[in-house]
Structures are given as structure tokens and as C-alpha cells.
């Protein structure tokens, strides 16, 4: 019974930095969208190798999903990166 009560109070596991951290950015397929997203990622994580970037268009080519694995150095870096990505007008979702 005690284990059931404790399970509701558990905190999410903390991430140990540095670590490989996958990021997915979904947005409207507009001119320059891909370049803007990669520029923001590189601003916060340094040069990203092309083999770490995966781009998938939606079925009707209206949206692009950009998946990148970066070397995350800390929570502050990730918070700033996510905030900067959300300032790009075409970005609809950052995961």
C-alpha cells in the first residue's frame, strides 16, 4: 500500500549532462524554415553534422519535421534553445 502512495509523489528522473539529446521541431514548410531551425540549434549546440539531421515532410508537403540529436550541456542550454526555436514564426511545435 505504501508503494502505491509513494508512486504519485515521485519526481521525473533528472538528466545527467552532458548527454545526447534528441530534439524534434515541426513547422510550416516555408522558405528558409529549415535553415532558421538549424541556425538556432547550432547557436546553442555548435556545428551539427549533417548525418545527425533528419528532415521529413508531411504527407501533403505543408509541414516539415526536423529531428536533430545535439550534445546537451545543461538545462539552461536546453531552455534557451527551446525559447529561441519558438520565436521562429513557422515553428508550430518543439519536442
Taking only the tens place, the pLDDT of each residue in 40-68 is 999 999 999 999 999 999 999 999 999 99
Domain holding 34, by residue range, is 22-94
What total number of domains does the chain contain? Answer: 1
Pairwise CA distance, residues 27 & 93, whole Å: 7
C-alpha 56 chain-centroid distance:
15
Question: Which segments of the chain are extended strands (E)?
Answer: 19-28, 53-57, 63-72, 91-94
- What's the number of CA atoms in the CB half-sphere (13 Å) around residue 64? 19
Asked if the structure places residue 17 within a domain, the reply is no
Mean pLDDT of the residues in the chain: 90
Pairwise CA distance, residues 1 & 15, whole Å: 29
Q: What pLDDT does residue 39 have?
A: 97
> pLDDT tier at 2 (50, 70, 90 boundaries)?
very low
C-alpha 30 chain-centroid distance:
19
Of the candidate ranges 4-8, 29-33, 67-71, the one whose mean pLDDT is the lowest: 4-8
What CATH code is carried by the domain that includes residue 73? 3.30.70.260
Amino acid at each position: 500500500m505504501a508503494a502505491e502512495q509513494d508512486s504519485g509523489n515521485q519526481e521525473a528522473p533528472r538528466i545527467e549532462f552532458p548527454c545526447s539529446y534528441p530534439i524534434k521541431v515541426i513547422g510550416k514548410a516555408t522558405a528558409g524554415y529549415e535553415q532558421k531551425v538549424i541556425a538556432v540549434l547550432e547557436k546553442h549546440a555548435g556545428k551539427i553534422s549533417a548525418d545527425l539531421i533528419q528532415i521529413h515532410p508531411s504527407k501533403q508537403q505543408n509541414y516539415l519535421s526536423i529531428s536533430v540529436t545535439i550534445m546537451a550541456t545543461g538545462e539552461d542550454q536546453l531552455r534557451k534553445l527551446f525559447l529561441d526555436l519558438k520565436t521562429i514564426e513557422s515553428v508550430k511545435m518543439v519536442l
